[in-house]
């Protein structure tokens, strides 16, 4: 799980930018039993090696976002390549570990979307919905796919390229999230600019 920028937390007035020329945001870089990750030449590459999930989101960057309050988050992800069975990637928000986290996954190849609630390392599909066939045609050539997430009155709303995809209820207890990142499925190699 990785943070990709720029993303803006409007309600909490924090902006991040990342051009991947340096490792100023302290991305996880290395090769372990779960990931191979490389940051070079303005690109960030993550390859998930195994089906099993790590107990922590070791490759996420943190912005100290209180996800119990109202917030707006915009993230733009320019995918250079996504190789794998489903070519899936998406946004993750939640706690530093996998308890009470949300992952929103999209698959351009299958034109599908999934909301996952991750708790104790287990994935629970909250929603599974088809994407519009033309949704990626509205990608900005310079910045890629636009993700927008907002939280109001206990509900999380998710937009893809300004189209409302789904909404889910925020867990009522135990969710003090402070991370946002990029999610890739096991077996997928993702390169982002």
Q: What are phi and psi of 54, to 5 degrees?
A: -70, 160
What is the pLDDT at residue 161? 93
Q: What is the pLDDT of residue 103?
A: 81
| CA-to-CA dists, residue 156 to 30, 31, 172, angstroms | 33, 34, 12
Q: What are phi and psi of 113, to 5 degrees?
A: -135, 150
Rounded Cα–Cα distance for residues 149 and 184 (Å): 18
Would you state the pLDDT for residue 160? Answer: 92
In the prediction, which pLDDT does 7 show?
Answer: 42
Low-confidence ranges of the chain (pLDDT < 50): 1-13, 58, 175
Amino acid 44: pLDDT: 85
pLDDT at 151: 87
pTM of the complete model: 0.74
pLDDT (tens digit per residue) in 154-184: 888 999 999 999 888 876 555 455 667 777 8
pLDDT tens digits, one per residue of 71-85? 888 888 888 888 887
The HSE-up count of residue 161 (CA atoms within 13 Å, CB side) is 16
60 burial type by CB count under 10 A (0-12 exposed, 13-18 middle, 19+ buried): buried
Give the pLDDT of residue 1. Answer: 38
């Amino acid at each position: 799980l990785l943070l990709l920028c720029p993303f803006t937390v409007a309600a909490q007035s924090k902006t991040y930018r990342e051009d991947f020329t340096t490792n100023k945001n302290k991305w996880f870089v290395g090769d372990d039993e779960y990931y191979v990750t490389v940051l070079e030449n303005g690109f960030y590459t993550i390859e998930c090696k195994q089906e099993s999930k790590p107990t922590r989101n070791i490759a996420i960057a943190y912005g100290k976002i209180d996800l119990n309050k109202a917030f707006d988050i915009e993230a733009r992800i320019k995918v250079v390549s996504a190789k794998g069975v489903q070519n899936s990637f998406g946004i993750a928000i939640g706690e530093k570990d996998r308890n009470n986290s949300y992952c929103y996954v999209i698959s351009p190849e299958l034109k599908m979307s999934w909301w996952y609630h991750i708790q104790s390392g287990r994935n629970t599909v909250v929603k599974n919905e088809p994407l519009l066939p033309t949704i990626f045609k509205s990608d900005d050539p310079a910045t890629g796919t636009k993700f927008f997430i907002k939280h109001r009155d206990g509900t999380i709303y998710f937009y893809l390229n300004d189209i409302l995809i789904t909404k889910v209820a925020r867990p009522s207890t135990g969710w003090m999230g402070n991370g946002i990142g990029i999610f890739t499925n096991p077996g997928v190699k993702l390169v982002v600019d």
